[in-house]
Amino acid sequence: MAREFKIAKGVKDWYGQDAILRNEMKDILRRVFERYGYSPLETPVIERAETMKFKGGEEIQKEIFTLKDQGKRELALRFDQTLPLARFVASNKDIKFPFKRYVIGEVFRDGPTQPEQGRYRVFTQCDVDILGVKEMTAEAELLALATDAFKELGLGNIIIKINNRKLLDCILDYAGVQNNKKFKTIIALDKRDKIGNEGVKKELLSFMLKKIVDKLISAITKAKNNNETYKKLTKIISSKKGKEGLNEIKQLLDYSKSMSLDFVEFDPSLARGLDYYTGTTIEVYLKDKSVVKSAVLAGGRFDNLIGDFIGGKKEIPAVGFSFGLERLAMILKDIKKTLKSSNTQLYLIPINTAKECLKIARSLRKRGLNTDMDLKGKRMGQAITYADSLGIPYVGIIGEDEIKEDLITIKNLKTREQKKIKINEVYKYVNKNKQ
């Protein structure tokens, strides 16, 4: 009996239309990132376990994939792109600030999966981060970048939610949440997408008094608009730290307004479940929640993280966020009317001319034309059917007559139009008539 090799739980093979769509998305994001002045940084997927366990919070620590190398050293697969960034900056003293980086790469979490929401154990994070800028102009630039990226991806209808960890900490104080229960409370608030508001309230009641929960829920509930929410909180927040958080929110809202980003919402209930956030927190949602309920982008400010890696009290301001590629790809797959199954522009069919066809295919590829050819000697009809099934727009028939006349018979598989084109004009013809 043949052995059956099954794919690991919580992961997925990407091929055909899915793989092409994902690569197109990566290319779009890369172009937007570089347009804003960010440079690529690639770090290993394997880190020392002590690096990955240094920060992140109790919940995320449970999901770390760990392993040992042959030297019995404790290693871990990265669960995000932020801790490797902190490790890199801490160990490279010659970095010039501001330091703006982007990364598009896989991360790994041994946690629950929701394939229908684009949540897998191996997933791709597309991160941008600005280091060395304490001003809210950094966050403002990131919001503009996110807006452009979603527009170019074809997902322009978004809502950007912002909050501030300094403010949230002071709201917890105001409500009477004990210090040893604050991060547990933030973890509960961060589960809104999964368990809803009632679920969050139920979880909070499991470890806090009802009067504290009610006071907290009342404080973090949004008013009818950003200004009213801001005014509401100025009346209950009196600490220096809380006022600082409120002032940063106001600055960011003012910057957003100046850039006509009228879909930015101040949401005091927004909580990110990682313990290294120190200021602004950001999440982006699609307006149409029927497509996907969870955030499709998330991040915030982590001013202490890199300093903690370096040691001492050095503070390196840092802010960034991450696009979830799998969720975005799932959404775009539903939205797009047609998806490419192949990036091939021209499929050559040799008719007893394999040697000559190989030479012609090579010359077309050198010019930059994505060219494939029949390598099996199929009958013409079979070869055309094969090319058509992959969505290749053109086939090129090369028989002995075509070789003698130095041309290719090009057939448009959509219109069924057929023309004889000189070989040195094929590149221009196919690109001029792109479908």
pLDDT digits (tens, 9 = 90+) for 247-273: 999 999 999 999 999 999 999 999 887
Percent of residues in the chain assigned helix, strand, coil, to nearest 5:
45, 20, 35
Question: Distance between CA 85 and CA 106 in Å, rounded?
Answer: 14
- Write down the pLDDT at residue 210: 92
Residue intervals in the chain for CATH 3.30.930.10 = 16-335
Rg (CA), the chain: 27
- CATH architecture of the domain with range 16-335: 2-Layer Sandwich (3.30)
Which residues pair with residue 342 across a beta bridge?
none
Q: How many CB atoms lie within 10 A of CB 403?
A: 20
- Write down the pLDDT at residue 428: 95
| Local confidence band at 435 (pLDDT 50, 70, 90 cut-offs) | low
pTM for this model (two decimals): 0.89
Q: What is the pLDDT of residues 321-344, one digit of tens each?
A: 999 899 899 889 888 878 889 999
- Whether the per-residue pLDDT at 400 is higher than 80: the answer is yes
Q: Are strands 346-350 and 371-373 parallel, antiparallel or unpaired?
A: parallel
Angle 274-77-272 from CA coordinates, rounded to 5°: 10
Read off the tokens for 166.
């300094």
Q: How many CB atoms lie within 10 A of CB 35?
A: 12
Q: What is the pLDDT of residues 112-139, one digit of tens each?
A: 888 877 789 999 999 999 999 999 999 9
Superfamily for domain range 346-430:
Anticodon-binding domain (3.40.50.800)
- Write down the pLDDT at residue 425: 96
Residue intervals in the chain for CATH 3.40.50.800 = 346-430
Region of 15 please: left (phi>0), alpha (psi -120 to 50) or beta: beta
Phi, psi of 75, rounded to the nearest 5 degrees? -125, 165
Which stretches does DSSP call E strand in 132-243? 158-164
Q: How many CB atoms lie within 10 A of CB 191?
A: 15
What is the residue-averaged pLDDT of the chain?
92
The SS3 assignment for 267 reads coil
Judge whether 375 and 424 are in contact, CB under 8 Å: no
Question: Distance between CA 253 and CA 136 in Å, rounded?
Answer: 10
Positive or negative, the CA dihedral 79, 80, 82, 85 is positive
Amino acid at 247: N
CA–centroid distance for 246 within its chain: 28
- Write down the pLDDT at residue 56: 65
Positive or negative, the CA dihedral 350, 354, 357, 361 is positive
Q: What is the pLDDT of residues 54-72, one digit of tens each?
A: 876 667 788 999 999 999 9
- Whether the per-residue pLDDT at 173 is higher than 80: the answer is yes
Burial class (CB within 10 angstroms; exposed 0-12, middle 13-18, buried 19+) of 229: buried
Judge whether 113 and 120 are in contact, CB under 8 Å: yes
Judge whether 251 and 243 are in contact, CB under 8 Å: no
